[in-house]
Amino acid sequence: MAEVKVLIEGYARESEGGLLASSSVSLIRENGKNIIVDPGINRPLLLEKLESEGLALTDIDFVVLTHYHPDHALLASIFEGAAILDNTTIYKNDYESDHGGVVPGTAVKIISAPGHAHEHCVVLAETEKGKIVIAGDVFWWMDEENMKPGDIDFLLNRKDPYAKDEKVLMESRRKILEIADYVVPGHGRMFEA
């Protein structure tokens, strides 16, 4: 069984002519492996959270990127010894291979979930608490929005101004809500599905 801890609850808020945003950052521990999902963009906060877990950058075995937007992916390179995984591929230095939908040496699954971005994926970990899906920006909202995680219509139909394909995004949202007990959104608090 995996253990999942949200190290950083993702945020997105208006700020002096722009946006202040960094993704949710999750730590998965399974079978002796340490996995970071979406390391985000806030380096000082990430380093502080890793230290509070007793982890050094070299303790991370894998970094999974749900998609390539900088607010989710920018800090991937600080984990020099880790392999980087995306929707289909493992990158280790200049070597690439297919991961087959699973983080190597674990039961943690990587599932395609396009719509917000064409290459988008989510991460599924089975825990004692239930199935936790780290959803990246399949689900996300601004800090000032009235989050309605128990409202299926809100979750399925919320307009995503950055979506590449709204119809495909809705299909990805449905798929996640069918398999998850809990969802970690790209920006916002974990919610029960």
Instruction: Write out pLDDT tens, residues 25-84.
Output: 999 999 999 999 999 999 999 999 999 999 999 999 999 999 999 999 999 999 999 999
86-92 long-range Cβ contacts below 8 angstroms, 24+ apart: 86/119, 86/121, 87/112, 87/119, 87/120, 87/121
Instruction: Write out pLDDT tens, residues 105-118.
Output: 999 999 999 999 99
pTM for this model (two decimals): 0.96
Taking alpha carbons only, the member of 49, 53, 52, 54 closest to residue 39 is 49
Distances (CA, A) of 4 to 104, 107, 142: 17, 13, 23
Q: Which residue has the higher pLDDT, 19 or 56?
A: 56
Alpha-carbon distance of 31 to 94, in angstroms, equals: 26
Instruction: Write out pLDDT tens, residues 116-159.
Output: 999 999 999 999 999 999 999 999 999 988 777 678 888 888 89
* Mean pLDDT calculated for residue range 16-21: 90
Q: Give the pLDDT confidence score for residue 58 in this predicted structure.
A: 98
Alpha-carbon distance of 154 to 141, in angstroms, equals: 11
3-state secondary structure 67-106: CCCHHHHHHHHHCCCCEEECCCEEEECCEEEECCCECCCC
Sign of CA dihedral 119, 186, 164, 158: positive
Q: Give the pLDDT confidence score for residue 146 in this predicted structure.
A: 76
H/E stretch holding 183 reads strand 182-184
For residue 153, give both structure tokens: 């219509």
Non-local CB neighbours of 54 within 8 Å, separated by 6+ positions: none
Q: Which domains are seen in the chain, by residue range?
A: 3-192 (3.60.15.10)
Alpha-carbon distance of 101 to 105, in angstroms, equals: 12
Alpha-carbon distance of 164 to 117, in angstroms, equals: 6
Whether the predicted pLDDT of 167 surpasses 90: yes
Q: Give the pLDDT confidence score for residue 150 in this predicted structure.
A: 75
Q: Give the pLDDT confidence score for residue 6 in this predicted structure.
A: 98
Paired strand residues for 27: 5, 36
